[in-house]
Amino acid sequence: MAPPHRGIVLTAAEVQVEGLNAVLDRIAATGATAIGPTLGVFAPAAPGKGRREPPLDVAGAARLLDRPLWGQRELALQGYAPRPVDPALWANVPYPPPPLAPPELRVDVVQQIIDGGHARGLSVHLQLSPYTLPGAPGGQSAESGHAQGPAGDRPLRINGGVAERVVAGHGCLNNPRVRALGLARLRQAAQDYPTIDGLSLDWAEYTCYFLEDAFTCVCEHCRRAALAHGYDWERIERDTRALWERLHRLTPADVAALAAPEGWPVALAGGLLARPGVADLLRFKAATVAGVVAELRAALDAAGGEAVALEVHAFPPPWNLLTGADYGRLGRIAQVLRTKLFTFHWPMIVHWWSESLLAWNPGLSEVAVLRAVLAGLDLPLPPGEHRTGLADWGMPRPDEPHPVTATGLTRKLNQAVAQADGAPVLAYLHSYRPAAELAEVLTAAAASGAGGVWVQRYGYLSDEKLAVLRDAWAAGVGG
């Protein structure tokens, strides 16, 4: 029997500051079997430049690193490519490649991490965000920053707008410009790092941080792609707009019904039966996501990476219904699926979804709307939690427990495993949380049918949390 999969994501910045051997020795000492480096090399940015580390995520200023970079728990970083790109791979890409590092930074730290990991018996799974737009926030691309990226290439909402607040700054997955960018990034990574064991894709799905994101994408590229696959685009637009408008006319009775235990299944079934175009949109998004993952798998094979495992990160149920991450379809293309349990984002999502519904429907009760959103996202509150208004929901502080339950996390993982229909599913946990809660989350993952654990990431793993991982994994918990 193969050993449990236990991976830790890390960045070049952490190695640049702490040293390669120190970082990899600490990771190996936990009992990890794998590492997941992200691309690039980094330096503190000049004032007004670069991107915040940790990423701001719109309203996440409370988040701080556990392991300081250049002596700071929050700072602005500038990312670079440590070696020149292959111009042939970027010849027909309407975006520039990542900027080349200045001479003093042209040290390929990622290659050092790969070699050092292999020397320690760790498998190495390079992490890539193929479709995040240069300048946009989100992802781990070296050139990401605080801008929003070209608006014309980003997902279009049914009301004709694009997101003004952006967590994951990815482009429309049916846009040829965006697809070309993703292929160039993957081909460059495969060419630069041919000895990796796996390539994991972040944001090869739609986003769902804001309720408005559920109503994308209806751009011209999506219309053409949908028509080519036989979808009734007129019905998709008509029914999706009707649902959008219905959510702007909610009554207290509507909200109370949605907050009831049986409310959402009934509302979802009735809504999709009444508006089949909405179901078509969800099916089309799932087909789009499966299509881009298949395209990247084919490109990886063509680049000589047939033996490299392709891994896909995906939101858990029920969010994956909106993001197009159909575990069953993706499991027939990719070799591994990682279910993202980034629970520090979840109270922010609750806030943003509730905020939109309250703005659309003035006069509704904050408490009632929050209850309905929690029910819809299947987020039961832990015992003793007393959060009654929007102000209670946001980015947790570093020492603040997240408002989730272990049984809820286990259920989401088991739902993903069931949907994957036999494809390997791993729990993808975030280590931004109190150390005691990290132990609880590992136990929740171990109680599920997931085949192992990835932890995002080393920069949030204090020495205390590294000890939690070591003790848990030594005891066979969480992977």
- Which range is least confidently modeled, 53-67, 140-154, 300-314? 140-154
Average pLDDT over residues 326-349: 98
Contact in structure between 147 and 135 (CB atoms under 8 Å): yes
Query: Mean pLDDT over residues 201-228, rounded?
Result: 97
Residue 137: the pLDDT is: 67
Q: Is the pLDDT of residue 199 over 50?
A: yes
- Residue 448 Rama label (left phi>0; alpha psi -120 to 50; beta): beta
Q: Are 340 and 428 in contact (CB under 8 A)?
A: yes
* 449: pLDDT strictly greater than 70: yes
Global pTM? 0.96
List Cα–Cα distances, 444 to 140, 411, 448, 470, in angstroms. Answer: 27, 9, 7, 16
Nearest to 221 by CA among 257, 180, 172: 172
Using alpha carbons, select from 371, 378, 455 the residue that is nearest to residue 410.
378
Fold category of 5-216+287-474 in CATH: TIM Barrel (3.20.20)
What pLDDT score was predicted for residue 143? 61
d(CA 300, CA 187): 7
pLDDT for 146 equals 58
Task: Give per-residue pLDDT as tens, 257-266.
Answer: 999 877 787 8
Whether residue 478 is predicted with pLDDT greater than 90 in this model: the reply is no
Give the per-residue pLDDT at 268.
Answer: 78
- Tens digits of residue pLDDT in 316-337: 999 999 999 999 999 999 999 9
Q: How confident is the model at residue 1 (pLDDT cuts 50, 70, 90)?
A: very low
How much is the pLDDT for 266?
A: 80
Q: Which residue has the higher pLDDT, 180 or 136?
A: 180
Say if residue 5's pLDDT is above 70: yes
**Residue 226 CA from chain centroid, whole number:** 25
Spatial neighbors of 72 by CB under 8 A, at least 6 apart, are none
Structure tokens at 273: 């039966």
Predicted confidence (pLDDT) per residue in 101-133, tens digit: 999 999 999 999 999 999 999 999 999 999 999
Q: Which residue has the tokens 């909106």?
A: 322
Give me the pLDDT at residue 138, please. 62
State the SS3 of the chain: CCCCEEEEEECHHHHHHHCHHHHHHHHHHCCCCEEEEECCEEEECCCCCCEEECCCCCCCCCCCCCCCECCECCEEEEEEECCCCCCCCCCCCCCCCCCECCHHHCCCHHHHHHHHHHHCCCEEEEEECCCECCCCCCCCCCCCCCCCCCHHHCCCECCCCCCCCCCCCECCCCCHHHHHHHHHHHHHHHHHCCCCCEEEECCCCCCCCCHHHHHECCCHHHHHHHHHCCCCHHHHHHHHHHHHHHCCCCCHHHHHHHHCCCHHHHHHHHHHHHCHHHHHHHHHHHHHHHHHHHHHHHHHHHCCCCCCEEEEEECCCCCHHHHCCCHHHHHCCCCEEEEEECCCCHHHHHHHHHHHHHHHCCCCCHHHHHHHHHHHCCCCCCCCCCCCCHHHCCCCCCCCCCCCCHHHHHHHHHHHHHHHCCCCEEEEEECCCCHHHHHHHHHHHHCCCCCEEEEECHHHCCHHHHHHHHHHHHCCCCC
- Residues 165-201 as b/e (b if ≥16 CB within 10 A, e otherwise) read ebbbbbbbbbbebbbebbbbbbbbbbebbeebbbbbb
Please, which pLDDT band fits residue 212 given cuts at 50, 70 and 90? very high
At 3 the pLDDT is 62
* pLDDT over 70, % of the chain: 96
What is residue 144's predicted lDDT score, i.e. its pLDDT?
Answer: 58
- Tokens coding 213: 């994101």
**Is the pLDDT confidence value at 57 over 60?**
yes
- Residue 145 confidence (pLDDT) above 60: no
pLDDT score for 141: 54
Q: What is the pLDDT of residue 151?
A: 81
Q: What are phi and psi of 199, to 5 degrees?
A: -130, 115
- Please report the pLDDT score of residue 284 as a whole number: 98
Choose the weakest-confidence range: 21-35, 141-155, 205-219: 141-155
What would the mean pLDDT of 76-83 be, rounded to a whole number?
95
Is the pLDDT at 2 greater than 60? The verdict is no
Which tokens hold the place of 452? Answer: 């192992």
Under 8 Å CB-to-CB from 332, ≥6 apart: which residues?
A: 423
Mean pLDDT in residue range 395-416: 97
Mean pLDDT of the chain: 94
Of the candidates 280, 77, 60, 97, the one whose C-alpha atom is nearest the C-alpha of residue 180 is 97
- Read off φ and ψ for residue 230, nearest 5 degrees: 85, 10
**Alpha-carbon distance 413 to 428, whole Å?**
10
pLDDT at 477 (0 to 100) = 83
**Using CA atoms, how far apart are residues 391 and 399, in angstroms rounded to an integer?**
18
CA distances from 443 to 6, 35, 337, 448 (A): 14, 21, 20, 9
Q: Is residue 160 predicted with pLDDT exceeding 80?
A: yes
Q: How confident is the model at residue 283 (pLDDT cuts 50, 70, 90)?
A: very high
Average pLDDT over residues 428-450: 97
